[in-house]
Amino acid sequence: MKHLLLALSLLLSTSLYGQIGPDGTGTVYGYYIGPYIDIGWSNADLAAADLSGANLAGARLGGVNFSGALLSNANLAGADLAAADLAGADLAGADLAGVQLILADLSGTNLTGANLAGVKSGNIIGTPSLPPGYQIVNGYIVGPGVVLLTARVQYSDLSGADLSNTDLRSANLAYSDLSGADFTNASLYDANLIGANLTNADLSGANLFGADFTNADLTGAIISSTTTFSTDLNMNWFSSQGAIVPTGTIITNNYTLETYSSTDLENWTLIKSETIESSEDILFLKSRVVEAE
């Protein structure tokens, strides 16, 4: 009898809570779990559910309660988790590439080892455990490869931050400390960098088209041959701001000063030619004829 009750208990437990199969799909708490499912904004409750290794790629999960859930090594690439409750959830090693996390509750969430490339965030609630190189700034997940399109992170301390391959188009970074930050291959298209401290920042390969550098400090900033910028800027300008530019890219406006002589003011003979860096180097010119002895 006891064995029968135990078997019935296990059967009820399995049917009630379900489990994730080897392919990452299954039924848990009565919800089908699989890629591209849509249970967002339906008051779905998967609190404390074991979804380890689940395949939820591209799923619509906005507003779902995942508090305390186990999502380690789950595939959530491209999923919409806007306003989802992930407080206390374990997403260690999960694939969150391209995930939407705006307004999500990440209080005490474990994201160590997670793939955060292309993550979109903003107004994040709480402080999660993040992989090395990532941090929460003004409610955004900031780090290499994330999307910070139009992000408002002005007056922030991002000194030494790894922002390589980060999408910072139209982001507001005004008056932020970006000294020593790594912006290699990042997009700063139309970004607000007014008054920003960019000393020793690495801008190699960055897209700087339309970026506003008014009163920014570029001392020691690295500009590479693959850095792109608006036509109103050039390597000379960056160099004049103290930035480090590639050798041979400075455009020097050299002038040639030529001296001619003539006996009849019609036929002229070149008697001297010299190169000067600027027409301002010519303070005055004076000619006179001296009779040969």
- Residue pair 105/84 in contact by the 8 Å Cβ criterion: yes
pLDDT by residue (tens digit) across 218-258?
Answer: 999 999 999 999 988 899 999 999 999 998 775 555 556 66
124 sits in the region (left: phi over 0; alpha: psi -120 to 50; else beta) called: beta
pLDDT by residue (tens digit) across 50-63?
Answer: 999 999 999 999 99
Q: What's the CA gap between 163 and 146, in Å, rounded?
A: 8
Q: What's the CA gap between 210 and 105, in Å, rounded?
A: 34
* pLDDT above 80: residue 48: yes
Q: Out of 44-58, 97-111, 195-209, 240-254, which region has the weakest mean confidence (pLDDT)?
A: 240-254
Please report the pLDDT score of residue 8 as a whole number: 39
Please report the pLDDT score of residue 77 as a whole number: 98
Averaged pLDDT for residues 273-293: 52
User: Mean pLDDT across the chain, nearest whole number?
Assistant: 88
Please report the pLDDT score of residue 256 as a whole number: 61
For the chain, what are the domain ranges? 21-147
Token pair recorded at residue 195: 């008054």
The dihedrals phi and psi of 26, each to the nearest 5 degrees, come to 160, -175
Q: Which residue has the tokens 């900031």?
A: 142
Q: Out of 3-12, 30-39, 71-80, 256-265, which region has the weakest mean confidence (pLDDT)?
A: 3-12
* pLDDT above 70: residue 30: yes
* pLDDT above 80: residue 184: yes
Q: Out of 67-76, 247-256, 258-267, which region has the weakest mean confidence (pLDDT)?
A: 247-256
Please report the pLDDT score of residue 109 as a whole number: 98
Q: Which of 181, 220, 184, 215 is nearest to 200 (CA)?
A: 220
What is the third-level CATH fold of 21-147? Pectate Lyase C-like (2.160.20)
Q: Which residue has the tokens 């990042």?
A: 186
Token pair recorded at residue 11: 């059967």
